[in-house]
Structure formats: structure tokens, C-alpha cells
Amino acid sequence: MTLPGRGPRGYRELAEHLARQIRDGIYPAGQRLPSELALQQTYDLARNTVRKAVEELEYQGLVVVQRGYGAVVAIEQEKQRVIVPAGTVVSGRMPTLTEAYEWGLPRGIPMLIATGPDGTVIQALPADRFEIVTE
Amino acid sequence: MTLPGRGPRGYRELAEHLARQIRDGIYPAGQRLPSELALQQTYDLARNTVRKAVEELEYQGLVVVQRGYGAVVAIEQEKQRVIVPAGTVVSGRMPTLTEAYEWGLPRGIPMLIATGPDGTVIQALPADRFEIVTE
DNA sequence: AAGTATTTGTCCGTATGTATT
DNA sequence: CAATACATACGGACAAATACT
């Protein structure tokens, strides 16, 4: 039962509340968050508001939302190290729609871009599966 | 005047439509997109749907939305090169709420993380202002 | 300085579609 | 087939930031 004035108000507070619970291990990696309906009832918020909060977590890469199933706490993946020559410039940006589709990327995963000293793009890789190291 | 069945349907198509217009230079960097009201009327969509489309562009780092002003086409910034020693591992992730606040980050800007070979974090920098290079 | 118009932000409600279990 | 859960889209109301007069 939720008392008025208690608990997180608005989607930001709910997002922070849930993020804290995830960090505290209340929802371990791989586990589902409560459903939108459950959250809605628990915190006495509209479903739209709950959805906005979960969207925040998704944007931060904390959860992956699967339609018809639920919002799953993100699992830290084993990252493949890509070796690039010295002088390589590494930058980052969000994926284009095409890249997101090609790599099957969930939201909240940026791309790592490796470019040569002259500016030519060497590689564009999703940051949830790769990291770049120079030697 | 919008005829039924013409133009983008739904927020995804509208987002792609606007993204194409931005790439084609119809809305140059620094310029505002049409207001939500204008888009709503032009494409005969609900305001919420228009907002979701603009949110997509924001997520991709294509625009920066300013409350009370509008959605501005993102301006490519001059990036500062940070030099790190060989063997440094570079990864990427979305900013935490704290980082976003500290750096004054708009949505759609990832963080670049430089870690030593042993895993200790050397630096965490926003990708719209920095790029990492090893030498 | 004050007030008005414009523009985005938040929140609610409702209905229907689609994917997974 | 049915139940559960997320996705999309519409509508409305008011708040808050910005710009302009």
C-alpha cells in the first residue's frame, strides 16, 4: 500500500530509485524488473510515467527491455579486445539506426570509432562487445 | 496540407524523415527544427508522437533540445585529444546521471573510458569534447 | 520591469497492437 | 487459445523556460 507523498514522485525519482536498487543488488544482473503494471501499482503512478523511468534506465545501459517479456538488468559482457596501431584516434558516438539494426544493439550502447591519424575510419564497433587497445 | 496516407507515419518514420533532412542540409547545424506544434500540424500526428520522434534524434546525438526554445541541430565540436600510454584500454558507455550533470551533457553523448592494462580507470571523458589517442 | 506568446517538460487517461509465455 | 507484458498512438491539462514586446 502506498501512502500519499511517500516514495519516488515523477519519472526521474523513480528512475533513480530503481537504479539504486539495481546497484544495491536487489535486482541482480539477468533478472527482470517488476512489470510496468506492478510498478504502476506499487508507486501509484501512471503507466506512461513508469515507462519513462524504465526508458531512462535503458538509456543508461542499465537494463534491456524485451517486448512481451520485461526489463532485464543488463549483463556485463565479456569484451573482445581489438588491437590498433599507435597513433590511432578513438572517439565515441551513438549508433545510427542502420548500425543499431546491423549489430542488434539495445538502447544505451554507444559505438567506439577508431580512426587513423589522417582521419580515415578504421573501425566502428559496439561498446558492449568490444574495447580498443593499442600496443 | 497533408493528404492522408502521405508522408511519414508513426514516430520512427518521422524520425528517419527528419534525420534525412538534417543530413541533406535542409536544417543546418545550429538551426532549429520546426516546433513540435508545427511538426504536429504538418504531418498530422499527435504531439506525443512528434515528441517521440525528436527524442530519437536526440538519442542519436543529432539534435540538442532546449526547453522553451526548440530542437537545435547538433554542432560538431572541436575535440581535444587526450594522449594515453600504449597498452591503455579504451571502452565506452553512457554517462551516469552524476556524470551527465557534472559535464552538462545533453542526451546522446557517450563517455570514453580509458583504463590501464590492470583495469584501473585512468579517465572518463565525454565523447563530444574528447578523443583518445595513444603514442 | 512586466506581461504575453511561444515552446518544451511532465503527468495523467484511454485504446489498441504485437510479442512472449 | 489465453494471459501477461511491452509498443504505439491518440487526447488533454498544466508547469516551466525562453523570447519578445
Please tell me the predicted confidence (pLDDT) of residue B56.
95
Q: Which domains does chain B have, with CATH numbers?
A: 11-73 (1.10.10.10), 80-134 (no CATH)
Looking at residue B94, its pLDDT comes to 95
Give the pLDDT score at A20.
96
Q: What percent of chain B has pLDDT over 70?
A: 96
The list of chain A residues with pLDDT below 50 reads 1-3
Residue B71 has pLDDT above 50, yes or no: yes
Which residues of chain A neighbour B89 with C-beta distances below 8 Å?
81, 131-133
Q: Which of B81, B88, B94 sits opposite A110 (nearest CB)?
A: B94
Per DSSP, the residues of A17-76 read HHHHHHHTTSS-TTPBPPPHHHHHHHHT--HHHHHHHHHHHHHTTSEEEETTTEEEEPPP
Of B79, B94, B134, the CB nearest to A88: B134
Does B115 score more than 90 pLDDT? Answer: yes
Whole-model pTM: value is 0.90
Res. B2 pLDDT band, cuts 50 70 90: very low
Tens of pLDDT, residue by residue over B16-52, are: 999 999 999 999 999 999 999 999 999 999 999 999 9
